[in-house]
Amino acid sequence: MSTDDTTPDGLIPAAILASQTPVAVYGYARAKAGEEGRMLNEIQAIIGLTRKEDGCEQYVVHTTPEQPGAFAFYERWSSGAHLLAHVSQPFMQTYFAAIANLVEGELEAHWLHPLS
């Protein structure tokens, strides 16, 4: 976890958190073998809560029957402050703690900046 215990180490760059304009991320996570169902349950538990948050413009999670336990995330937030508020939510703290032992390897994140 990071020094403030809100997100896994290095997941969100400081420049993204400081952004006053919209930020987006494409992320990827794969569940460990045998943990696919638990990972799916943890992800499904946060989708509705996340979409209701102030500043959440889009939050979508995808999977495919061909690769059980593989999850692709797309998020768009109105600003870095909104994203920080999101990862600081108690339900997200619970989520990060729950998936720490379910994820194969590291969470993958690719930060995107809108062209307009």
Q: Give residue 87's pLDDT.
A: 94
Is there a domain that residue 85 lies in? yes
Q: Give residue 7's pLDDT.
A: 56
From CA 30, how far away is CA 37, in angstroms rounded? Answer: 12
* Domain range for 44: 22-112
End-to-end CA distance of the chain: 33
Among 24, 33, 26, 44, which Cα is nearest to 95's? 44
Arithmetic mean of pLDDT, 53-63: 97
From CA 22, how far away is CA 32, in angstroms rounded? Answer: 32
107: domain CATH number? 3.30.70.100
Say which range, 11-20, 25-34, 67-76, 86-95, has the weakest mean pLDDT. Answer: 11-20
pTM for this model (two decimals): 0.86
List C-alpha distances in Å: 76 to 58, 79, 90, 113, 116. Answer: 5, 9, 20, 10, 14
Number of domains, the chain: 1
Q: Give residue 3's pLDDT.
A: 35
Is there a domain that residue 33 lies in? yes
Is there a domain that residue 82 lies in? yes
